Amino acid sequence: MKHDQYTSDGVIKESSSEQWKDVKKFLHFCNHIASLVNKESSVKFTYCGISMDECWVEPYIDTINGQVAKEIYDLLVKENINSYIDCYGEEQDEDEFGETHQELKKWSVTLPGIRLEKEIDLG
């Protein structure tokens, strides 16, 4: 089930539940869920934008591998939090000796539709 989220005046609106949540409390809760699965997993922020004048940050949960990402995703879904697992990798070419190296994969859980003006301190 998909739940749309967006921010407005420092709160998150989830269309599925019609509940408003403080952004910091919401991200702190997501951070708590991530740490329950793996103490190294936490909410991070990625910088986005279409120009130097129009930029923002979006939160995601940094994980150590795909299994941890799946476990965090499952817990978020149980809490009706819209999320999805994301994986990207660096393509590795052959080195100067002709050896091919294993592709590096980076796993995360994306919290879609949340755009913030700046990072939020969750400490």
Q: pLDDT digit string (tens) for 10-69?
A: 666 555 555 556 888 889 999 999 999 999 999 999 999 988 888 999 999 999 999 999
Domain annotation covers residue 121: no
Greatest alpha-carbon span in the chain: 58
Q: What is the pLDDT of residues 85-108, one digit of tens each?
A: 999 876 666 667 777 666 678 999
As a whole number of angstroms, the distance between CA 82 and CA 79 comes to 9
Residue 104, token pair as written in the block: 């590096």
In a domain, 115, yes or no: no
- Is residue 116 in some structural domain? no
| pTM assigned to the model | 0.76
Range of the domain at 35: 5-87+102-110
In a domain, 92, yes or no: no
d(CA 92, CA 103): 6
Asked, for residue 93, whether it belongs to a domain, the answer is: no
- Domain total in the chain: 1
What CATH number does the domain containing 56 carry?
A: 3.10.28
* pLDDT of 97: 74
Evaluate whether residue 118 is within a structural domain.
no
Kindly state whether residue 94 falls inside one of the protein's structural domains.
no
Q: Which residues contact residue 14 at a Cβ distance below 8 angstroms, ignoring those fewer than 6 apart?
A: 3, 4, 5, 21, 80, 81, 82
The pLDDT value recorded for residue 14 is 58
